[in-house]
Structure 1
Amino acid sequence: MGEERLRRHVRTLAAGIGERHVRRPHALHAAAAYIRGELESLGYAVAPQAYEAYGVRCENLEVTIPGSSRAGEIVLAGAHYDTVEGSPGADDNASGVAGLIEIARLLRDARPQRTVKLVAFVNEESPFFRSGAMGSAVYARAARRRGDDIRLMLSLEMLGCYREEPGSQAYPPLLRWFYPERGNFIAFVSNLRSRRALAAFTRAFRAASDFPAERLAAPALVPGISWSDQLSFWRAGYPALMVTDTAFYRYPHYHQATDTPERLRYPEMARVVQGLARALQALGAGS
């Protein structure tokens, strides 16, 4: 079952390997090796993009599902595999990486018109966030130099927390009047320039899944809107959005030592990931 595969990936990354960042390079490299091995076991050729940060070799890991009639157009999904110091990072962001690997499994036999790329990014967290040394920033700059036509980038950022208690969902000021009070949905979030891509992806997800989904296009200054790898693609001029359980607006263990695998809700996570894969397949088909 999908939920058991997701659970295994999260446990391996968060419990088996633990916190993973440049100050624990052996763990960062172990996480990269695990992701590479899982993708290769699905039949993919993994292309590393290596660079050095703080004297440590760091890698983004990319797989490609070639397009046919519209191969020059790219739909990309990515998730960062590093953590902050002091946290095993089950939800942030082993859940996103687990989702990426499962999406790769679900799409391995796809024959899209557009090219689909799946990328595991390094170095999203501090001290790299908002810097040119973020893995996603390195990737997005290289894509822009190549002239890649990225039609949509999805940042998979925390996919595992779902809550049914009334009042379990918080929001930035004013937004609580417009969105649900229970944290039982997946959120799609973008800046204002990416709002058309956001609307198109939300439609595709809702057509593919009955899991509750909410969308928000807002200025990047709203707290949390830009807090992941989508920021790197915005800066490179690409449309991008974040797929998230809303992090600290719902999950009290964000960036804590208590962000552990048993706190996640794998049945809901599996439904979300299946919907994401189907939506990506629809967009890859040119929808």
Structure 2
Amino acid sequence: MHEDLTQHLRHHVYELAGKIGEHNVFHPKALHAAEAYITEEWQSQGYAVHKQAYRTHGVDCANLEINLPGSGLDQQAIVIGAHYDSVLGSPGANDNGSGVAALLELSRLFQKIAPETAMRFVAFVNEEPPFFFWPNMGSMVYAKAAKQRGDKIRFMISREMLGCYKNQPGSQAYPPFLKYFYPDTGNFIAFVSNLRSRGIMRDCLGAFSAVTDFPMQSIATLALVPGVSLSDHLSFWRQGYKAFMITDTAFYRYPYYHTAQDTPDKLDYAPFAEVTNGLFLMLCRLTNAVRHDS
């Protein structure tokens, strides 16, 4: 099941984290290679790629965006994002090669789909330290510019580490006290939001559960709970937009988080593909999308 999707996801992760390897401003040649790979993949899918370029730490950087216009009257767009830089010292297979791979495959699956609600797929640069939380973080640059333009964003979804799934009891950890309310087996995908965004997250949960039986958990809580704000959705919260994260829970499950061992062979590609297909069907449902022939 989903064999082609599984192979496509694997290919993207191996290209980004295996062939290119560590890619960030401290390895600018590799960062630009990752940027070029994403750009070329989207262009090969028939999309026009828009660059939001800026310079930091003496390196030219860019957020990358493609747009799917909506056929409906609602002018609000859904933003689907993932960061494409890897942390210093890591090739970033799961963090966040998996998120980028899913982003590329979701756009491919939407090639012959017409959504009623407009969508933007965005690959953000510079999510990892030393940029996280600060103005030169790629998604901060993007969200601030969107706010200044008055962009109508219905909500944003951050794809942050989607490739690790474990069926062994005891494979899942949590922030303090949450272990009493959630399963200790790390075989699920998690939806994570702040309190203000819980309504849109619940809508997405309902759509996801209607199209797949893949295990899922969710939490809407304060941003200060450890791990809840650790991705690009934080940038949108800070600009007043609603946003949430979809994740395999990162360091609460994945033992190679932010290490040199975060390599493509560590990911669980079959469940990763099942999750990605579920997210595609979820987005189709949320945007009232219909298939068209071209």
Q: Same fold (TM over 0.5)?
A: yes
Are 1:201 and 2:220 counterparts? no
Alpha-carbon separation, structure 1, partners of 2:79 and 2:12? 21
Are 1:107 and 2:148 counterparts? no
Aligned ranges 1:225-236 → 2 under 5 Å: 225-236=228-239
Are 1:212 and 2:219 counterparts? no
Are 1:73 and 2:76 counterparts? yes
- SS of the residue corresponding to residue 145 of structure 1 reads helix
- SS of the residue corresponding to residue 180 of structure 1 reads coil
**Match of residue 153 from structure 2:** 150
Aligned ranges 1:1-287 → 2 under 5 Å: 1-285=4-288
Q: Which AA in structure 2 matches 1:264?
A: L
* Aligned-residue offset at 1:70: 3.0
Alpha-carbon separation, structure 2, partners of 1:72 and 1:55? 37
| Aligned 8 A contact 1:208 1:278 in 2 | yes
Q: What is the total number of aligned residue pairs between the two structures?
A: 286
Sequence identity percentage: 57
Alpha-carbon separation, structure 1, partners of 2:179 and 2:26? 38
* Aligned-residue offset at 1:209: 1.2
* Aligned-residue offset at 1:278: 1.2
| Aligned 8 A contact 1:75 1:283 in 2 | no
* Aligned-residue offset at 1:285: 2.1
Over 3 Å counting, the alpha-carbon distance change for 1:40 and 1:71 in structure 2 is: farther
Deviations 1:259-284 (A, max 9, x none): 01111000000010111111112222
Deviations 1:225-273 (A, max 9, x none): 0000000000011110011000000011000000011110000000101
Alpha-carbon separation, structure 1, partners of 2:143 and 2:158? 13
Give unpaired runs (5+ residues) of structure 1.
none
RMSD over aligned Cα atoms = 0.9
TM-score normalised by structure 1 residue count: 0.98
| Aligned 8 A contact 1:65 1:108 in 2 | no
- SS of the residue corresponding to residue 153 of structure 1 reads strand
- SS of the residue corresponding to residue 83 of structure 1 reads coil
Alpha-carbon separation, structure 2, partners of 1:143 and 1:281? 24
TM-score normalised by structure 2 residue count: 0.96
* Aligned-residue offset at 1:71: 4.8
**Match of residue 292 from structure 2:** none
Give unpaired runs (5+ residues) of structure 2.
290-294
Alpha-carbon separation, structure 1, partners of 2:36 and 2:216? 33
Q: Which runs of 4+ in 1 moved over 6 A?
A: none
Deviations 1:9-64 (A, max 9, x none): 00000010011100110000000000011111111111111011111110111001
Alpha-carbon separation, structure 2, partners of 1:145 and 1:284? 25
- SS of the residue corresponding to residue 15 of structure 1 reads helix
Alpha-carbon separation, structure 2, partners of 1:71 and 1:45? 22
Alpha-carbon separation, structure 1, partners of 2:42 and 2:273? 18
Q: Which AA in structure 2 matches 1:120?
A: A
| Aligned 8 A contact 1:72 1:148 in 2 | no
Alpha-carbon separation, structure 2, partners of 1:282 and 1:111? 12
* Aligned-residue offset at 1:79: 0.4
* Aligned-residue offset at 1:137: 0.6
* Aligned-residue offset at 1:89: 0.4
